[in-house]
Amino acid sequence: MSVPEPFGQRLRQSWARSDSALCVGLDPVRERLPSHLAQAPDPLFHFCREIVEATADLVCAFKPNIAFFNAEGAEGDLKRLIDHIHTAHPGVPVIIDAKRGDVGSTASMYARELFERYNTDAATVNPWLGWDSIAPFAEHEGRGVVVLCHTSNPSSAWLQEEPRGDPAYLKVAREMQSRDADNLALVVGATFPEQLAEVRRAAPTLPFLVPGVGAQGGGADELRQIFASGVDESGQGIVVNASRSIIYAGTGKAYAAASRQAAMGLRDQIRRARDRQQSD
């Protein structure tokens, strides 16, 4: 297998190609699939493939969540989906949302699973065990490691903002920035705009994967704040993820068309927030 270009480089190319900071999360739940797919072979793959085909020209990345496939014993669907994206849309990076976090040989096996078995371009990683839990992923040349920093869920402050003097999320940001690598990025939730601004000051060059927009509550105000204080030194560095608000935008056989309309609306909203920041 040939060594891919550094993940950071491919992400910058995707931003330029698509003129978009939108990432569509692929989190298929069998009970929410359109009824005509219920009896189809490999329904999770077919559902996600149609979403991909409807939105690929609108996004800078796709983010399948491994748990939604594992729970259904559909690992084969996930592999087929990633292979399809790479073949049909080779300029669009794939980020597996796996949130792996362990050390030693276990972390090495997780990294092999995600980067070799699934051939994903990047993966989310939990830094709770320190750099030892991240290094096995970072050692895979050309692959991206998206490190949880300050997440979008309401109770995240319970741990991530402790201790108050020098909170854990800023320690994560500073450590990743100090590595000076083109394969590291951070997860920073849209629903905590003040903390996002602090993380950007601590990590001026790292890309941010920003969940929390759409079904999780982030809207136009959060998008304006993200681009007002979250872009990197080049005016980029933001990947805004939305999952349920896009993939479940419609029902029935027209679900993919409805997803396209939802993705287009959010992409345009993101562009307006970005352009406003650039003009200020």
Average pLDDT of the chain, as a whole number: 92
**pLDDT score recorded for residue 154:** 81
- A 10 A CB-CB count for 105 gives 9
Q: How large is the average pLDDT for residues 61-79? A: 97
CA distance 222 to 241: 13
pTM summary value: 0.94
**pLDDT score recorded for residue 214:** 67
CA distance 183 to 170: 19
Return the minimum-mean-pLDDT range out of 17-26, 35-44, 114-123: 35-44
Q: Per DSSP, what are the bridge partners of residue 63?
A: 25
pLDDT category at 218 given cuts 50, 70, 90 is low
Return the minimum-mean-pLDDT range out of 102-106, 112-116, 156-160: 156-160
**pLDDT score recorded for residue 155:** 87
> By three-state DSSP, how is residue 165 classified?
coil
CA distance 142 to 146: 13
CA distance 257 to 236: 29
Are 133 and 176 in contact, with CB atoms under 8 Å apart?
no
Are 57 and 259 in contact, with CB atoms under 8 Å apart?
no
Going 117 to 120 to 124 to 128, the CA torsion angle's sign is positive
CA distance 235 to 217: 25
**pLDDT score recorded for residue 160:** 80
Catalytic residues: 99
Upper half-sphere CA count for residue 199 (Cβ side, 13 Å):
33
> Which long-range contacts (C-beta less than 8 Å, at least 24 apart) are formed by 50-54?
50/255, 50/256, 51/24, 51/26, 51/246, 51/247, 51/256, 51/259, 52/24, 52/26, 52/81, 52/84, 52/85, 52/88, 52/89, 53/88, 53/256, 54/256, 54/257, 54/259, 54/260, 54/263
| Residue type present at position 125 | V
Q: Report the percentage of the chain scoring pLDDT > 70.
A: 96
Q: Is the pLDDT of residue 217 over 60?
A: no
CA distance 18 to 221: 23
CA distance 149 to 126: 8
Q: Which of 132, 182, 190, 125 is nearest to 156 (CA)?
A: 190
CA distance 132 to 221: 37
pLDDT digits (tens, 9 = 90+) for 149-208: 998 888 877 888 887 678 999 999 999 999 989 999 999 998 888 999 999 999 999 999
Q: Which of 90, 89, 85 is nearest to 45 (CA)?
A: 85
Q: Is the pLDDT of residue 280 over 70?
A: no
Considering only residues 140 and 151, tell me which one the structure prediction assigns the higher pLDDT.
Answer: 140
Q: Which of 235, 237, 262, 247 is nearest to 184 (CA)?
A: 237
